[in-house]
A = this chain, B = another copy of it.
């Protein structure tokens, strides 16, 4: 051995003092610029290893037998023939000892892993592991299963009607009627000059991420490793440990890359437990990925809502009262992400008198799941069309009406002040960028092609983030850097802005930073990436971790240079005297760094300001062209003005805004789960040919993002707020408002597709 191996000595690295938390950035060199993703090469070349790319030696493939009926009872289940099919390694049903576990849907409800009483099309009845995916699916077909088909109910309104078929034994009503009120709604309506009331509705929408749901499961003794396409590894570890009865330390969940989730991958899924059970039974790794059809049936949806909204306004534009009633359904089981349909009504505009009630039913369809801004696009669809109608009723510009009803406090949360409220700036700067004043003066046209413009605004109930988060930055002895964080990069560029923050603090190239993330065994703690909270939760912790390294580097260099740390600064891979750049040390020449091997900085997410609310705000503007003969709508352009605080990476910021608008166009114009309500209750548009996602042809090339940054240093140490969800909330309403501007026809049910619009336009012509 060389002597160096044995005789490295040195002092214990000091643990940094708490409370030296970095103050707000004054200027930034890297943060706020446009940066391609640090993992662009891997993503574009195909080298990135997504969970669906995982191939392990000796791996089996799993597949699930799912109930083909909306509501049915399994009367016969015979797997004997399937057992002898080629390549079959294991079959699991509800009679197997291993499968006597409960899957927790939410709100205290659970069901067995394999089900005899099937409450929706897609319920799990049995599972197979085989040598190849084809053999697994062949074996499924060899399982002899008979069902007694039961009456079904497919619609939340119908489910609550008298004499409706039972969606489940215990009845169709889910939970109590929820109500909220403040002020005196009757007095509010009495004080109004104009009162309008309308019914709005939105259908069920499927997440449909590019990468299908699925997982690879491997056991080592009593320790389980799961590679899964997920938004959060720690949340999934917790659920798997709970379902399987294991300590957290026995469950590793890993997800370095994932191909979209939009809320449906905030946590692990039932099929992942099935993969784990198959792996346990066979003592081999099992890969189980769903088909697109299974994805549509069983991985979640955004609940449809029927909403009645009544609003009062005075002629000077003061909102006097709102009354809201919503009916919705979380599906056959409460899978999460239901509710919040009334949040925009409750909290967006200043209004003293508000009453909201919400009802929910069980129906025979797949469980709901959190979907980008749960409840908000639905509520916004109602509220923002109502605002448009109110403005027209009192002959006021709809931007002006909104500006007349701003608030700096969250009325629905005890009037707690927001740390920043950029809605005014969103409306004003957005309108300016859009050319709203000019656009509203332009006539709609007189031929069959009519133009119109629309605006809609929103807040988002969350988006401030908060603890906990732990991040570790490790500088190697040559000055290159490793970043260790638990957060999944769900496609939004998390790794890139995190690297940019480290680059900002340590003045090293962002592209050179080695990033390890989203693995419960090897990376730090993070809550799931979702709720528009990844940036505001993680970015302060990343910044602190890098800052802790910076502090130590400066201290070590000061010791070596024989100067006070205060006179030193950092730049270009060196620590040097601020007033004499020649006196300094390259990181790699700092003896203390070499002596320690690495310098490690730990960052935590600090608490949010007490008694205050951190929320993002937005206003979106659009212009449409309507073919009044066919009902077809061309979205010509969109401007999204967003107060999401500081922009970390302008390129991925813009991408988020454009992507959110694109998804909003899907919600508003193309997407809708269609069940065969009258006959089978089965989903009829189960393929992506029939379930229409917006394509490049549906999304305008002319889109612009207008970031509003009010320098909200109260929010957290990076002043960044969430962006991922507000970008999709007001889009559909803005389109509907523009459609009305073009045609004078109000469309209250999404999607705004030609089937509907042509009929409405025809009805108007006939009226």
Chain A residues packing against B (C-beta within 8 Å): 1-2, 5-18, 21, 41-42, 45, 47, 55, 57, 106, 220-221, 223, 234-235, 237-238, 241, 247-250, 252, 263, 266, 336-337, 370, 374, 461-462, 466-470, 472, 474, 476-482, 484, 512-514, 516, 519, 521-528, 530-531, 533, 595-598, 600, 602, 604-608
- In the complex the two chains form, is B604's CB within 8 Å of A247's CB? no
Given A18-B12, A57-B55, A467-B596, do A42 and B220 touch, yes or no (CB 8 Å)?
yes
Q: Write the chain B residue with the least CB distance to A370.
A: B1
| Alpha-carbon gap, A478 to B245, bound state (A) | 12
Given the complex, which residues of B lie within 8 Å of A462, measured CB to CB? 6-7
- In the complex the two chains form, is B336's CB within 8 Å of A1's CB? yes
- In the complex the two chains form, is B514's CB within 8 Å of A249's CB? yes
- In the complex the two chains form, is B47's CB within 8 Å of A11's CB? no
Given the complex, which residues of B lie within 8 Å of A598, measured CB to CB? 468, 470, 524-525
Given A6-B531, A221-B42, A467-B8, do A602 and B604 touch, yes or no (CB 8 Å)?
no
- In the complex the two chains form, is A514's CB within 8 Å of B521's CB? yes
Task: Name the one of B223, B477, B602 contacting A248, with C-beta atoms under 8 angstroms.
Answer: B477
Task: Name the one of B57, B247, B605 contacting A478, with C-beta atoms under 8 angstroms.
Answer: B247
| Alpha-carbon gap, A5 to B725, bound state (A) | 15
Given the complex, which residues of B lie within 8 Å of A533, measured CB to CB? 5-6
| Alpha-carbon gap, A3 to B530, bound state (A) | 11
| Alpha-carbon gap, A462 to B55, bound state (A) | 45
- In the complex the two chains form, is B477's CB within 8 Å of A512's CB? no
Given the complex, which residues of B lie within 8 Å of A604, measured CB to CB? 12-13
Given the complex, which residues of B lie within 8 Å of A336, measured CB to CB? 1-2
Given A106-B2, A531-B1, A602-B602, do A250 and B470 touch, yes or no (CB 8 Å)?
no
- In the complex the two chains form, is A250's CB within 8 Å of B1's CB? no
| Alpha-carbon gap, A604 to B2, bound state (A) | 23
Given the complex, which residues of B lie within 8 Å of A42, measured CB to CB? 220-221
8 A-B pairs (CB sep. < 8 Å): A5-B235, A6-B533, A12-B607, A45-B221, A249-B512, A250-B514, A470-B598, A524-B598
Identical subunits present: 2
Q: Which of the listed residues A11, A47, A476 has the most CB atoms from chain B within 10 Å of its own CB?
A: A476
- In the complex the two chains form, is B17's CB within 8 Å of A223's CB? no
Q: Write the chain B residue with the least CB distance to A235.
A: B5
Given the complex, which residues of B lie within 8 Å of A234, measured CB to CB? 597
Known contacts A12-B605, A249-B512, A468-B598; 13 further A-B pairs (Cβ under 8 A): A1-B530, A5-B527, A5-B531, A9-B608, A10-B607, A15-B17, A15-B602, A41-B220, A247-B479, A249-B480, A469-B597, A514-B521, A600-B602
Given the complex, which residues of B lie within 8 Å of A57, measured CB to CB? 55
- In the complex the two chains form, is B607's CB within 8 Å of A247's CB? no
Given the complex, which residues of B lie within 8 Å of A370, measured CB to CB? 1-2
Given the complex, which residues of B lie within 8 Å of A247, measured CB to CB? 476, 478-480, 512
Q: Write the chain B residue with the least CB distance to A513.
A: B249
- In the complex the two chains form, is A468's CB within 8 Å of B596's CB? yes
- In the complex the two chains form, is B221's CB within 8 Å of A467's CB? no
A629 to chain B, nearest CB (A): 43
- In the complex the two chains form, is B527's CB within 8 Å of A248's CB? no
Given the complex, which residues of B lie within 8 Å of A608, measured CB to CB? 9
Given A16-B15, A476-B248, A481-B249, do A527 and B8 touch, yes or no (CB 8 Å)?
yes
A369 to chain B, nearest CB (A): 9
- In the complex the two chains form, is A7's CB within 8 Å of B249's CB? no
Given the complex, which residues of B lie within 8 Å of A266, measured CB to CB? 1, 5
Given the complex, which residues of B lie within 8 Å of A523, measured CB to CB? 522
- In the complex the two chains form, is A521's CB within 8 Å of B482's CB? yes
Q: Write the chain B residue with the least CB distance to A55.
A: B57
| Alpha-carbon gap, A686 to B608, bound state (A) | 69
Q: Write the chain B residue with the least CB distance to A523.
A: B522
| Alpha-carbon gap, A12 to B45, bound state (A) | 40
Q: Which of the listed residues A12, A14, A477, A528 has the most CB atoms from chain B within 10 Å of its own CB?
A: A12
Given the complex, which residues of B lie within 8 Å of A476, measured CB to CB? 237, 247-249
A341 to chain B, nearest CB (A): 14
- In the complex the two chains form, is A467's CB within 8 Å of B12's CB? yes
- In the complex the two chains form, is A528's CB within 8 Å of B5's CB? yes
Given the complex, which residues of B lie within 8 Å of A12, measured CB to CB? 18, 21, 467, 604-607
A524 to chain B, nearest CB (A): 7
Given A15-B17, A468-B10, do A1 and B482 touch, yes or no (CB 8 Å)?
no
Q: Which of the listed residues A55, A250, A598 has the most CB atoms from chain B within 10 Å of its own CB?
A: A598
Task: Name the one of B5, B41, B466 contacting A221, with C-beta atoms under 8 angstroms.
Answer: B41
- In the complex the two chains form, is A514's CB within 8 Å of B467's CB? no
- In the complex the two chains form, is B468's CB within 8 Å of A595's CB? yes
Q: Write the chain B residue with the least CB distance to A509.
A: B247
- In the complex the two chains form, is B516's CB within 8 Å of A521's CB? yes
- In the complex the two chains form, is A527's CB within 8 Å of B374's CB? no
Task: Name the one of B470, B519, B521 contacting A600, with C-beta atoms under 8 angstroms.
Answer: B470
- In the complex the two chains form, is A47's CB within 8 Å of B248's CB? no
Task: Name the one of B235, B466, B480 contacting A250, with C-beta atoms under 8 angstroms.
Answer: B480
A20 to chain B, nearest CB (A): 9
| Alpha-carbon gap, A619 to B9, bound state (A) | 29
- In the complex the two chains form, is B248's CB within 8 Å of A478's CB? yes
| Alpha-carbon gap, A514 to B253, bound state (A) | 13
Given the complex, which residues of B lie within 8 Å of A484, measured CB to CB? 522
Given the complex, which residues of B lie within 8 Å of A220, measured CB to CB? 41-42, 47
| Alpha-carbon gap, A482 to B249, bound state (A) | 6
| Alpha-carbon gap, A252 to B525, bound state (A) | 22
A223 to chain B, nearest CB (A): 7
A699 to chain B, nearest CB (A): 26
Given the complex, which residues of B lie within 8 Å of A513, measured CB to CB? 249
Given the complex, which residues of B lie within 8 Å of A469, measured CB to CB? 597
| Alpha-carbon gap, A45 to B605, bound state (A) | 42
Given the complex, which residues of B lie within 8 Å of A466, measured CB to CB? 6-9
| Alpha-carbon gap, A15 to B276, bound state (A) | 38
Given the complex, which residues of B lie within 8 Å of A16, measured CB to CB? 15
Given the complex, which residues of B lie within 8 Å of A7, measured CB to CB? 462, 466
Q: Write the chain B residue with the least CB distance to A45.
A: B221
Given the complex, which residues of B lie within 8 Å of A1, measured CB to CB? 263, 266, 336-337, 370, 374, 528, 530-531
Given the complex, which residues of B lie within 8 Å of A600, measured CB to CB? 470, 524-525, 602
- In the complex the two chains form, is A223's CB within 8 Å of B514's CB? yes
A419 to chain B, nearest CB (A): 14
Q: Which of the listed residues A11, A45, A470, A527 has the most CB atoms from chain B within 10 Å of its own CB?
A: A470
A36 to chain B, nearest CB (A): 13
| Alpha-carbon gap, A85 to B539, bound state (A) | 54
A290 to chain B, nearest CB (A): 21
| Alpha-carbon gap, A396 to B327, bound state (A) | 101
